[in-house]
Structure 1
Amino acid sequence: MCRHIAYIGPELPFGKVVLTPPHGLYRQSWAPRHQRHGTVNADGFGVGWYAPGDPVPARYRRSGPIWADEQLPDLGRVIRTGALLAAVRDATVAGADGEAAAAPFATGRYLFSHNGAVAGWPDSMAPLAAALPAGELLRLAARSDTAFLWALVHHRLAAGAEPGDALADTVAEVAAAAPGSRLNLLLTDGTGIAATTWGDSLHHLAAPGGGRVVASEPYDTSPHWTEVPDGTLLRATRTEVTLTPLKEPAT
């Protein structure tokens, strides 16, 4: 369910990453090649990007399919960025909160997305919700599993956790509470990318010009894409990628 992509590197129009590649996120909305669950990602989309010199990202999100938005091609052509995160959505619960449920979610300098589903949502997350400060729940952007996952991740980030650790610890906690969940998480602060594989596909690419792409699936047929094994935490900068096995959830 869902497809997402993050990029850091030389400044370029965001459409070159999101819209124009032959198998890019735009096409993945109706014809994904590696998606293991679901077939069409038409329940919303979003693009978040960082303007030069501004650490707080901007976002453009809509509740409908990405191919139906007439403004996006022009935005993708003229808005230039050195970092972005974008996603197309196949909703776990159809119709829940519309545009507010479309990734990327954002707080401060962070952009976040989730590809997957929390098993037993929402009842399975009741113990984890009870452990969160009330303010975190009141600030949920949508009544969706992704919004709740973002609350868990952000709570860790606010407490000082490094982005990769915040994702890894969230995956372990949620997988223990809701076995069978699919938890491919993607996070960027505009300077680095962190991601997890837990039940669906993920790939990375050293892009031409010194950039780095991390995506649910390759956006072209380049042989230089590398698949990330399931059960892995990825940390990426422009110049390097580090892969670390995720811990199995406590039983």
Structure 2
Amino acid sequence: MPKASSAAAAPALQLDEVRRLFSGSCGRVTALAGVTLGFGSGTFTAVVGPAGSGKSTLLRCAAGTDRPDSGRVALDGIALADRSEQELTLLRRGRIGLLTDAGRAQHGLTAYQNVALARRVAGYGADPQRVEAVLRRLGLHEVRHRRTSELPDGQRHSVSVAQVLAGRPATILADEPTGSLDAPSAHRTLALLRGYVHAARRTVVLATHDPVAASYADRVVFLRHGAVEGEMHRPTAAAIAERLTACS
């Protein structure tokens, strides 16, 4: 299986000693325990761990939608802690694509309208050919003029994937993006993310507990109890599963 390029590059996204604590019924809970990670341009990294390991918190801090209690997060060298909420919103609009299992498609719009709108919000014209191309690559061309609310869950989620890709962000942060997809749709989504990294020199960070999904990445970082517990490069799904079992 061909992989995306992992050539050395200056980090597009950098986390230094990031800590995040939450208050729980049993006191303070550590979600991130001083995580330091860098993600270069043209790299596809999977952050893997069981539920509660801190994967989603890491992505939220990386996107600036959650602020760490200490440490530094920088996007293209810009420290997020120095920015207001309005500045962070503008920064995310052009540079970060957020992809979750819940999706973000507007149900009152057609698949085509959702993707065209995402391009306009990102500052690109709603180029019909580009919109059609993204929909076709995700197997949505035949349903492009149907409202998203009329589509099955898998196709509805694929519309959200198409929206993110159409916006051409420099960095995609994907939180369990294939959780509700069948195997063919999941493969198509992950292959597109990998191709996006390779063709456009973009950065993808995928948070997942699924060894098969993680095997599409060039680099797999293992997270447990909010701390990094090692990494693997170009691993198989079996090797990832074995490592997860050993760490559980």
TM-score (norm. length: structure 2): 0.36
**Structure with the higher fraction of residues in helix conformation:** 2
Of structures 1 and 2, the one with the larger relative CO (CA 8 A, separation 6+) is 2
